[in-house]
Structure 1
Amino acid sequence: MEAFQQDSGIRFSNEAVLFEAFTHSSYVNEHRRKAFVDNERLEFLGDAVLEVAVSQYLFHRYPKMTEGELTKLRASIVCEPSLVHLANELQLGTYILLGKGEENTGGRQRPALLADVFEALVGALYLDKGLDPVIELLEKVMFPKVEIGAFSKVTDYKSQLQELVQQDNAGQLKYDIIEEKGPAHNRIFVSQVSLDEQMLGEGSGRSKKEAEQQAAQLAIVKLKSED
């Protein structure tokens, strides 16, 4: 954690919360005799903090954008592929605490895990210092990329599916996690996406986000094949 703080220039008052941000559930499972806590709660908080910080930035930066345009742009910024890019830029994979099984199966490079760690880091920074330091971090690593349109090319199948459905006013999309398989440190999630109770696609992944993205991708293929 000291190496991360030196390399990133981000200094925490409470290093315990930083340690938690980089602790994967697989590490906790392999060290059950110690009071380690995984980063899933911080990921939950960081996801919400990112939504607020990015929304505030876009609201002030693009005063002529409509609500729909702002929503679409925000979705492309905070989706998993873009967060993975930012995590790699900060080399977050270097610092993650992983169990041996997750390490041996390439967890340090797994997109869903990297995106989760970025969100957990944001959550930890918010808890430690508040919203302003989060915005300072995003001003360094995220907002300049928005300015040059870097996120407009990011593949976010959930946003694409939402846009496709809205074009025809076809109804309401709903995502459900219908199954969770495997041990806690190697969980597989299965997601279904439905349109007004009609199932469009089913996907699986190592995180809920990954499963939902795959389900959305398959739903897009199905809808376009029916046109």
Structure 2
Amino acid sequence: MKKYLELEKILGHTFKDKKLLKHALLHRSYGNENKEYKKISNERLELLGDAVLDLVVTEYLYKNFKESSEGDLAKLKSMVVSEPVLAKISRKLKLGEYLFLSKGEEVTGGRDRSSILGDVFESVLGAIYLDSDLETARKYGLSHLVYEIEHIYENDELIDFKTALQEYSQRKYKEVPTYELIGEDGPDHAKFFKIGVFINSELVGSGEGKNKKTAEQKAAKHACDSLGIKYIETL
């Protein structure tokens, strides 16, 4: 009970139905070692929370990004409700510490696994919605997500710079960018690759990485920065 009170304080919501909070924290692995929870997990609440989150975020974007196209709003929404963002918020809330996990899931790092943490943010949101109403759930969700929305372009992990560059190149030059290996360093077991990206045979960006995919993404980002390209035009 003490742990629930601690978590409610962190969440800023006192549950009328404490069972909802517990269900929101029940990972499906817990039932493998506890027969009474064999058919109970947070997956149904996660589904509900996902729907609430989708509505809340879409509504916020619609009202606050009035000059954005439907396509840009869809891109932005998919970035905001992505696993990295939701897992980041769950880590801030320390939700991993309160999860009910199997011993096997716990020893393999389940409490800090992004997929699990992203899901539990949604299941808790679903629980708050059922315990109260949509307005309460909206306030809870946006209290954590507005900052992420306003700073989303600073999160390189979420942005597909290769797609942004390709769309720009096709629109302006009717040509697809090409990526070429322009250098590599290090021993065979620890290679470091340098990739250049070209448009009309002109080098527009370069990037380095431990694999070619990472280097290409960095090269595309370099090109986007140099050419003033934004993944979402109104940000």
Amino acid at match of 2:155: K
Matching residue of 2:21: 18
Pick aligned residue for 2:74 from 71, 75, 78? 71
What CA deviation, in whole Å up to 9, does each residue of 1:144-200 have, x standing for no partner?
3322x235525347x6787689787xxxxxxxxxxxxxxxxxxxxxxxxxxxxxxxx
Matches within 5 A, 1:93-132: 93-132=96-135
Q: Partners of 2:14 and 2:166 in 1: how far apart?
A: 44
The DSSP-based 3-state class of the residue aligned with 2:100 is: coil
Quick one: which amino acid aligns to residue 132 of structure 2?
K
Q: Which residue identity does 1:20 align to in structure 2?
A: H
The SS at the match of 2:130 is helix
Backbone CA RMSD of aligned residues: 2.7
Kindly indicate whether structure 1 or structure 2 has the higher relative contact order, using CA contacts under 8 Å at least 6 residues apart.
Answer: 1
User: Normalization by structure 1: what TM-score?
Assistant: 0.67
Aligned residues: 172
CA distance in 2, matches of 1:14, 1:154: 40
Distance 1:160 1:55, change over 3 A: farther
Q: Distance in 1 between matches of 2:165 and 2:124?
A: 33
Which 4+ stretches in 1 moved above 2 angstroms? 33-36, 154-157, 159-168
Report the TM-score, using the length of structure 2 for normalisation: 0.64
Which residue does the alignment assign to 2:94?
Answer: 91
**Cα separation, 2, equivalents of 1:125 and 1:162:** 37
1:60 deviates by: 0.4
Q: Please show how residues 168-183 of structure 1 align to structure 2 within 5 Å.
A: none
Unmatched 5+ residue regions in structure 1? 169-216
Q: Aligned letter for 1:78?
A: V
Aligned to 2:7: 4
1:8 Cα offset (Å): 2.4
Match of 1:51 in 2: 54
Change beyond 3 A, Cα 1:163–1:134: farther
Q: Highest CA radius of gyration, 1 or 2?
A: 2
Distance 1:155 1:98, change over 3 A: same
Structure 2 counterpart of 1:186: none
For residue 152 of structure 2, what is the aligned residue in structure 1? 150
% same residue: 35
Preserved CA contact (<8 Å) 1:5 1:11: yes
